[in-house]
A = this chain, B = another copy of it.
Amino acid sequence: MLKEERHYHILDKIILDGKVLSADLSIELNVSEDTIRRDLNELSDKELIKKVHGGALPIDSNNLSYGERSNFNLEEKNIIAKKAVNLIKSGQVIIMSGSTTNLQLAKIIPADINATIYTYSLPIALQLTEHPSIEIIFIGGKLHKSAQVTVGLDVVSSISELRADLCFMGIGGINVLNGMTEPDWEVSHIKKCMISASDKVIALCTQNKVNETKRYTVAPINKIDTLVTDKDPNDLIFKDFKEKGVKIL
């Protein structure tokens, strides 16, 4: 086994177990404790772990990862995600659709939030596994390969059986007259279920989706509680939405 492999193994184990013991690692990796100590010293020099008597501990960086990430991107979807993340409170049950905006949102949920999130998107679920306290329920079904989400009757029936406080929904198009619309029939159906399963519906919506209309209807405009957008909420484009009782963020 290569030295770097051992290093990765040690880092993984430290994350998973919260600590490592030199003696354990020596047996596990089949090298002398001496070598392990040298490994720990190197990792410690790189400030990746905290070496202590008998082994090593993780370097505390809970807020680091969050801070690092949230500084990074300044694109539209991130603006939306940053606004939307404030709507999440501990204890809530949340459904997320499979949009990239929701993926960005999943990345920036603060570590101290403690909620249950239902999703049918593989990338979002994977992202959420890095969060320390979110409970993730993956909604199973037939996997749509390119979109990496599950679809089909299983998904529909699973969603209809649950109740959520919030539902974060990416949208295909939105428009005062036709409400929310989707280009894909199956997705439109799933989103209908999501809406009726949730107390509040939050639509995540980049500027370019406003006043678009797609083939299949999801819901009339008044079903939406809050529309989160990358633009100024006071923009004239949202006037009609406001009159229908939709909050703009």
Identify the A interface with B (CB < 8 A): 1-5, 8-9, 12-13, 15-16, 19, 21, 29, 50, 52-55, 57, 61, 65-66, 69-70, 72, 120, 122, 125-126, 128-130, 135-143, 145-146, 148, 150, 154, 158
Q: Of all chain B residues, which has the CB nearest A67?
A: B12
**Chain B nearest CB, measured from A71 CB (Å):** 9
Contact B2 A52 (CB under 8 A): yes
Contact A16 B66 (CB under 8 A): yes
Total identical chains: 2
- Out of B5, B13, B55, B136, name the residue touching A19 (CB < 8 Å): B5
Contact B143 A138 (CB under 8 A): yes
- Out of B5, B9, B66, B137, name the residue touching A142 (CB < 8 Å): B137
Name 23 interchain pairs, CB-CB below 8 A, sorted by A. A1-B72, A2-B19, A2-B54, A2-B57, A3-B54, A4-B50, A8-B61, A12-B70, A15-B66, A16-B66, A16-B146, A65-B126, A122-B138, A125-B143, A129-B145, A129-B148, A136-B142, A137-B140, A138-B140, A138-B150, A140-B140, A140-B150, A140-B154
**Chain B nearest CB, measured from A51 CB (Å):** 10
Contact B72 A9 (CB under 8 A): yes
Q: Of all chain B residues, which has the CB nearest A119?
A: B143
A57-B126 in contact given A12-B66, A135-B142 (Cβ < 8 Å) = no
**Chain B nearest CB, measured from A206 CB (Å):** 15
Contact A4 B140 (CB under 8 A): no
**Top 5 closest A-B pairs, CB basis?**
A140-B140, A136-B143, A12-B70, A9-B70, A129-B145
Across-interface contacts of A61 in B (CB, < 8 A): 8
